[in-house]
Amino acid sequence: MKFTNKNVLITGASSGIGYALALELANRGANLIVTARRKDRLQNLVALIEDNGGHAQSIITDVKKESDLQQAVTRAHQTYGPIDIVIANAAIPMHGNFDELSTDNFKQIFETNVFGVLNTVYACLDDLKKSQGSLVIISSVMGYMATPGTSAYSMSKFAVRAFAETVHSELAKHGIKVILINPGFVESEIRLVDNRGSYNPNRKDWVPSFLVMRAEKAARIIAKAIYRGKREKFIGFYGYLGYWFRQYLPWLYFALINVGNRIVRSGNQK
């Protein structure tokens, strides 16, 4: 599973899956352009990659801004050449029931989770056509399973899944592989970020630790899926199990969702 001399651009690389995936691909020989909004995190990531003999460049990027992504692609060209693999990973959370949110909340999450993906793809599309490369879209099992309290986030991931399924066939004529990744519960800061985008390490993670996969393990599985050109890959047994129940035993799935929702709510109230 070598990625020697493959030029890879990753959005949302300052933490979680993006961070771990950058390290994994760099260790496998890829040249990295890592992007995110947090400069210090990106600098630390680049230093860690270079200390281990890898090659990486960082650039501050907000995926809501097309110009930022164009600058990231230009940096890739100046440093390595055309992009072979683009990983659209940047995403934000949005907590709360539908009646606790506003249309502005929905617009906010769609700007990053949906239009941010589109901005990333459009910025890299010419390169991918030339290299017949890979477009990797990090979605979520929430793109299949909407649970109480996740209406905005789930809507954004349903949209991303629809986009990936559509462009898979559209881009095949250019030799581009489209790979949809559906992580379940993976070690990440996203569940510790509030609706204003503030990270709070003291915020209670509602997911039990035994259900959470380490980011490094998830990165290895994703790297394997990219290497093999998988059309779609679920990350984590519990996520795939939930998907299976949703598809084939919906009555049991919804019963379990209702029970789990009551347990989580009672725990939060305490």
Task: State pLDDT tens for residues 62-90.
Answer: 999 999 999 999 999 999 999 999 999 99
**158-201 pLDDT, tens digit each:** 999 999 999 999 999 999 999 999 999 888 777 667 777 666 66
What single-letter amino acid sits at 216?
Answer: E
Residue with tokens 């998907």: 243
- 121: pLDDT confidence band, cut at 50, 70 and 90? very high
Instruction: Give the model's pLDDT for residue 185.
Output: 86
Q: Which pTM was predicted?
A: 0.91
- 204: pLDDT confidence band, cut at 50, 70 and 90? confident
- For residue 21, pLDDT beyond 60: yes
- For residue 56, pLDDT beyond 60: yes
Query: Residue 23 and residue 150: Cα distance in Å, rounded?
Result: 30
- For residue 269, pLDDT beyond 60: no
Q: Which of 144, 153, 243, 253 is labelled catalytic?
A: 153
**180-191 pLDDT, tens digit each:** 999 998 887 776
Whole-number Cα distances in Å, 10 to 31, 185, 196, 253: 11, 20, 24, 34
Instruction: Give the model's pLDDT for residue 111.
Output: 98
Sorted by where each starts, the structural domains of the chain and their CATH numbers stand as: 7-237 (3.40.50.720)
User: What is the β-pairing status of strands 177-183 and 134-138?
Assistant: parallel
Q: Which residues pair with 183 in a beta bridge?
A: 235
Whole-number Cα distances in Å, 69 to 35, 109, 126, 226, 227: 9, 18, 13, 22, 24
- For residue 207, pLDDT beyond 80: no
- 210: pLDDT confidence band, cut at 50, 70 and 90? confident
Region 233-237: mean pLDDT is 92
Question: CA-based Rg of the chain, rounded to a whole angstrom?
Answer: 18
Instruction: Give the model's pLDDT for residue 266.
Output: 60
Q: Where are the alpha helices (DSSP H) in the chain?
A: 16-27, 39-51, 66-79, 103-113, 115-131, 151-172, 215-228, 237-248, 250-269
Instruction: Give the model's pLDDT for residue 240.
Output: 83
Instruction: Give the model's pLDDT for residue 256.
Output: 81
The interaxial angle of helices 115-131 and 66-79, nearest 10 deg, is: 30
Region 200-211: mean pLDDT is 71
Active site residue 227: no
Best CA proximity match to 76, nearest among 133, 35, 15: 35
- 264: pLDDT confidence band, cut at 50, 70 and 90? low
Region 13-35: mean pLDDT is 97
Instruction: Give the model's pLDDT for residue 265.
Output: 57
Compute the mean pLDDT over every residue in the chain, rounded to the nearest whole number. Answer: 91
- For residue 113, pLDDT beyond 80: yes
Instruction: Give the model's pLDDT for residue 192.
Output: 67
